[in-house]
């Protein structure tokens, strides 16, 4: 795909225009930010049908799941409601030895942000960080994924109609476009995508010491313990894996079930797959397609190992893969070495909870971890003895839509986090301000120091 700029500027010119606009101070005004967010909201409402149609064109998304893209609007509404309070100075208390005076945290915008997105939720994952960037008072340049071209077109139209390019602009294009943008100096780079490209982004940003947020992927395990409600567990896992045909960064990647429960869980999962997608899932109107042939071939290649329990059918011309349960897979198989990112769910077993925890802790830190258990002690054990970007107990995916929860990875699954106030903070510099009066100026800290050590020691609590 060739680079198309939304206006007749080169990237460096566009960036300079945004820098100049930022320097006017216009974006610092809270009224301006709120007005821009309202305009964005109106644009999303206006384009909702096109957004859903684009998700269908790019990913074969059923309309219901297409509305997950439009659903970016609910975070936007949350931000509109709370922005005034987030933007206020945040007063902090002064230590006694610093009084009199006052101190506070003054959130201020960073400048110009670059936002690079993936193809799997191609609209939502551009709009959600953009909302944070605008809310915090920044300018932004967006680079959506070239692998979801229909959504990229809708985003380009929406952005061009809604914003002055000196404030928010969108550049369509592929890898070279992303690289050309990354060569420029931004004040923040917000990237959503895979681990490999995350490293490229971080390296490019390091040339300018630009801070990055990296929203990456990884394998998100799903532990099922013997006391879980099996029917509800199966409903939720099949839903979370089926959504967007498993092409969701926080989809349950694999199931780790206590061995005595495996036959019953497999039966419940099979029944749910049939209930959701019918006897012939290729005919189901509720199943997305794999984004492209490259991803399709990779996923079908993973089916070489293990025993297929249900599913396994695929059709390259339609990029269709049936929801598939598979067992007999070992930790060394390719399926367990990489993020699956498709509708294939391996079922592995454990004997003791400690064994499950240890298996997870030996591997890169997951973006999400799911636990199905009613037992409080089990829940506490997993909370306190594992690490993951997020942990969701007795459900899947939904933690992403609790706007007060920071969303992001840890270790290999990402750096930084966002959503709600966490987006506002990510795109802000939290400036420390200390203010002192002139009317009192004690002598004890100034040279000559002779005879002042005792007073200093008293301040330090040492005598």
Ranges within 364-393 binding ligand NAD (CB under 6 A): 367
Rounded CA gap, 342 and 291, in Å? 10
Angle between helices 376-385 and 353-361 (to 10 degrees): 20
- Which CB atom, from 139 or from 367, has the smaller least distance to ligand NAD? 367
- Which CB atom, from 136 or from 367, has the smaller least distance to ligand NAD? 367
Minimum distance of ligand NAD from residue 10's CB (angstroms): 18
Can you tell me which residue has the tokens 């060569």? 183
The helix/strand/coil state of 222 is strand
- Which CB atom, from 162 or from 413, has the smaller least distance to ligand NAD? 413
Ranges within 243-302 binding ligand NAD (CB under 6 A): 249
Cβ count within 10 A of residue 326: 22
The tally of CA atoms less than 13 A away on the side-chain side of residue 86 is 27
- H helices present in 190-324, as ranges: 195-206, 230-242, 262-277, 293-302
Q: Is 133 in the site for ligand NAD (CB under 6 A)?
A: no
DSSP β-ladder status, 112-116 and 139-143: parallel
- Reading across the β-sheet that carries 112-116, which strands appear in turn? 4-5, 168-172, 139-143, 112-116, 188-192, 212-215, 414-415
Q: Is 117 in the site for ligand NAD (CB under 6 A)?
A: yes
- Which CB atom, from 116 or from 135, has the smaller least distance to ligand NAD? 116
Q: Using CB under 6 A, which of the segments 114-122, 303-311, 391-399, 437-445 binds ligand NAD? A: 114-122
Determine which residue in the list 11, 200, 393, 405 makes contact with ligand NAD, applying CB under 6 A. 200
Q: Looking at 69, 75, 172, 215, which residue is catalytic?
A: 215
Which helix (H) or strand (E) covers residue 133, if one does? helix 124-135
Query: Is residue 259 flagged as an active site residue?
Result: no
Q: Looking at 69, 249, 339, 392, which residue is catalytic?
A: 249
Determine which residue in the list 14, 59, 116, 159 makes contact with ligand NAD, applying CB under 6 A. 116
Determine which residue in the list 55, 125, 223, 299 makes contact with ligand NAD, applying CB under 6 A. 125
Angle between helices 230-242 and 262-277 (to 10 degrees): 50
Q: Using CB under 6 A, which of the segments 130-138, 171-179, 271-279, 354-362 binds ligand NAD? A: 171-179
- Is the distance from CB of 154 to CB of 51 less than 8 angstroms? yes
Q: Is 132 in the site for ligand NAD (CB under 6 A)?
A: no
Determine which residue in the list 179, 307, 315, 358 makes contact with ligand NAD, applying CB under 6 A. 179
End-to-end CA distance of the chain: 71
- Which CB atom, from 58 or from 339, has the smaller least distance to ligand NAD? 339
- Which CB atom, from 205 or from 266, has the smaller least distance to ligand NAD? 205
Can you tell me which residue has the tokens 């699956």? 340
Q: Is 360 in the site for ligand NAD (CB under 6 A)?
A: no
Q: Is 425 in the site for ligand NAD (CB under 6 A)?
A: no
Angle between helices 175-183 and 195-206 (to 10 degrees): 30
- H helices present in 278-395, as ranges: 293-302, 334-337, 353-361, 376-385
Minimum distance of ligand NAD from residue 174's CB (angstroms): 5
Q: Is 216 in the site for ligand NAD (CB under 6 A)?
A: yes
Ranges within 138-167 binding ligand NAD (CB under 6 A): 143, 145-147
Determine which residue in the list 58, 69, 187, 339 makes contact with ligand NAD, applying CB under 6 A. 339
Q: Which DSSP string do the residues of 363-413 spell out, in sequence order?
A: SPPPSEEEEE---HHHHHHHHHH---SEEEESSSSGGGG-TTS-B---GGG
Which residues fall within 8 angstroms of residue 212, CB to CB, at 6 or more apart? 188, 189, 190, 191, 201, 202, 205, 415, 416
Determine which residue in the list 27, 120, 152, 210 makes contact with ligand NAD, applying CB under 6 A. 120
Minimum distance of ligand NAD from residue 74's CB (angstroms): 17
Query: Is residue 184 flagged as an active site residue?
Result: no
The helix/strand/coil state of 53 is helix
Q: Using CB under 6 A, which of the segments 104-112, 213-221, 235-243, 255-263 binds ligand NAD? A: 213-221
Minimum distance of ligand NAD from residue 200's CB (angstroms): 4
The site for ligand NAD (CB under 6 A) is made up of 116-121, 125, 143, 145-147, 174-175, 178-179, 182, 192-194, 197, 200, 215-217, 249, 339, 341, 367, 409, 414
Active site residues: 215, 249
């Amino acid at each position: 795909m060739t680079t198309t700029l939304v206006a007749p500027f080169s990237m460096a010119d566009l960036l300079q225009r945004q820098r100049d606009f930022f320097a006017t101070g216009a974006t610092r005004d809270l009224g301006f930010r709120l007005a821009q967010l309202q305009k964005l909201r109106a644009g999303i409402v206006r384009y909702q049908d096109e957004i859903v149609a684009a998700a269908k064109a790019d990913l074969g998304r059923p309309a219901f799941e297409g509305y997950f893209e439009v659903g970016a609007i609910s975070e936007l509404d949350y931000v509109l409601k709370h922005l005034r309070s987030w933007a206020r100075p945040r007063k902090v208390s002064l230590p006694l030895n610093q009084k009199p005076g006052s101190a506070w945290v003054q959130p201020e915008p960073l400048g110009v942000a670059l936002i690079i997105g993936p193809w799997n939720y191609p609209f939502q994952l551009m709009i959600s960080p953009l909302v944070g960037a605008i809310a915090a008072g920044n300018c932004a340049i967006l680079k959506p994924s070239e692998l979801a071209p229909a959504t990229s077109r809708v985003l380009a139209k929406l952005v061009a109609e809604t914003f002055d390019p000196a404030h928010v602009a969108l550049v369509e294009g592929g890898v070279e476009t992303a690289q050309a943008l990354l060569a420029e100096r931004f004040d923040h780079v917000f990237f959503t995508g895979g681990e490999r490209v995350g490293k490229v982004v971080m390296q490019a940003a390091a040339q300018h010491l630009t801070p990055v947020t990296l929203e990456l992927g990884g394998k998100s395990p799903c532990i099922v313990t013997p006391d879980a409600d099996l029917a509800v567990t199966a409903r939720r896992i099949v839903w979370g894996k089926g959504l967007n045909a498993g092409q969701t960064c926080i989809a349950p990647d694999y199931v780790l079930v206590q061995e005595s429960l495996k036959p019953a869980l497999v039966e419940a999962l099979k029944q749910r797959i049939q209930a959701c997608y019918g006897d012939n899932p290729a005919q189901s109107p509720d199943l997305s397609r794999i984004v492209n042939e490259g991803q399709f071939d990779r996923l079908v290649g993973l089916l070489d190992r293990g025993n297929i329990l249900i599913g396994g059918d695929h059709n390259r011309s339609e990029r269709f893969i049936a929801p598939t349960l598979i067992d007999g897979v070992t930790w060394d198989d390719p399926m367990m070495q990489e993020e699956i990112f498709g509708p294939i769910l391996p079922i592995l077993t454990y004997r003791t909870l400690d064994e499950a925890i240890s298996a997870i802790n030996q591997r890169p830190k997951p973006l999400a971890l799911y636990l199905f258990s009613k037992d409080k002690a089990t829940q506490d054990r997993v909370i306190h003895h594992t690490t993951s970007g997020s942990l969701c107990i007795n459900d899947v995916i939904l933690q992403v839509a609790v706007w007060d929860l920071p969303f992001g990875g840890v270790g290999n699954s990402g750096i930084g986090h966002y959503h709600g106030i966490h987006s506002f903070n990510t795109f802000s510099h939290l400036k420390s301000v200390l203010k002192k009066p002139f009317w009192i100026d004690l002598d004890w800290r100034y040279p000559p120091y002779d005879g002042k050590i005792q007073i200093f020691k008293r301040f330090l609590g040492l005598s």
